[in-house]
Every structure is written in structure tokens, then in C-alpha cells.
Amino acid sequence: MKTALLPSKALTAAVVLLLGGSLAGCDATAHAFDDGQPGPGIASGATGHAEASVDAARALAQLETIQVKGRAPKTGYTRDEFGPAWADVDHNGCDTRNDILGRDLLDKTFKPGTNGCVVASGTLADKYTGTRIGFVRGQDTSSRVQIDHIVPLSDAWQKGAQQLSEERRKEFANDPLNLMAADGPTNAAKGDSDAATWLPPNKAFRCDYVARQTTVKAKYSLWVTPAEHDSIARTLKGCN
């Protein structure tokens, strides 16, 4: 099942891949990955909110470098194992949630006095549903747009993250490659599912979604289950 590893550059990705756009009010260079090369499933130069094309053959090749085995027990998992939620890991003055909102939303406004960091409102071109969602910060409205871990933390824990260092798990939880603003109810429905049990309702995004999961799992040396491997492979083989 395993083949020779692809060059390390194939495991990296620019922040702009799939989601594009600079981090308004934040240091964008702090969010670039390694040498800034896109992952194997993502075309370079993918900016804005248009769907990025997927190099399915490269994503499939990368999938075959990922170990396939059963899910480990969830024993010991808590959110705290991945560090505090939405920490400012890049020390740019913005917490990770606001970094991703600033990257992914259109027509943004910012809370006064936050140096362009705290997003007050905007519009999300949601990739999971293919719809546009208005975001307004507030106790009863913020949850309409959530920040999704494309590879969920619990899934990662059961597929190798237990063996990562505390610092590496914190990096994983705050890595923009693994984060995307998404429709709140759809994200809640996804939960900690892997590709064997959940794919985005928006079928046009499924190729990009599984390619991103593959890149993330390869980057952090996580594994996939047999059913997950087969679902990702089947999806990628159906991509144009």
C-alpha cells in the first residue's frame, strides 16, 4: 500500500490555497507553510473563493504514502491535549479564530480598537454548502460561522496524534492548512467524522476537501483507516 514518500515540498501549502486572501490586519507571512508550495491536491495560484482545481493523481499518490490501519482508542482525548483553543501561536497579535475569519470572510469589518484583528462582520462563501452566510459577531450570532478543523482533532488523536509532542499537537490545532470557516450547523453535523462517514453536502468541494485531508495527514504523519482510505481514493478518482 505504501510507496516512496513524495518530496517534502509536496507536503506543504500556502495559506491562500483553496481559501485565498491575505490575513487582514495580521502578518500573512507568519501563516505561510515551509517554502510556500501548494500541497499535491491543490493547484498553485488558487486565490479568492473560486474552487481550486485538484491534481487528483498527485493527491492519490500522496494518499498511498499514508499508513493504513485501524482506529486507536479515544482514551485520554480532551481538547486540552491540543493546547488552548485559538491561541495566538504565531504571535501576530490575533488569535487563530480571528486569523481564519479575516482570511476567509468577504466584506469584513473589524471591532474598533483591535488593530484590525477582531472581525465584527462579514460574508462567508461557504464551501461546505455552496451558500453565502452573513456573519455578525455576537453571543447569539457568532455560531453561524464556525472554524472547522478539516481533519478533526478527535480523529487525529485516534490516528497518530497521541504520539506527537504537545507542541506539535498545538501546531496541528492552529495550522491554517487544517482550518476553514464554515457554516455552523454543517460543521456541527460533521463532528469528528472522517471521510468514510462524512463528506461536504456541496459535491463540488469534495475533491478539494479530501485532497486537503490527505495533505494534512501526510504533514503530521497521521494514518487513515481502510474505509477512510477507500472513500478518499474513490472521491479523488471521480475528480476531473
pLDDT along the chain (240 residues), means of 10: 41 39 34 38 36 78 97 95 92 94 97 94 98 96 97 98 97 97 97 97 97 98 98 93
pLDDT at residue 224 in the model: 98
Position 54 scores a pLDDT of: 77
> What's the confidence (pLDDT) of residue 191?
96
- Cα pseudo-dihedral 148, 150, 154, 159, rounded to 10: -170
Residue type, 211: A
Q: What is the pLDDT of residue 3?
A: 41
Find out whether 75 and 46 touch, Cβ atoms under 8 Å. no
Can you give the pLDDT at residue 139? 92
- For the whole prediction, is pTM greater than 0.85? no
φ, ψ (nearest 5 deg) of residue 216:
-65, -45
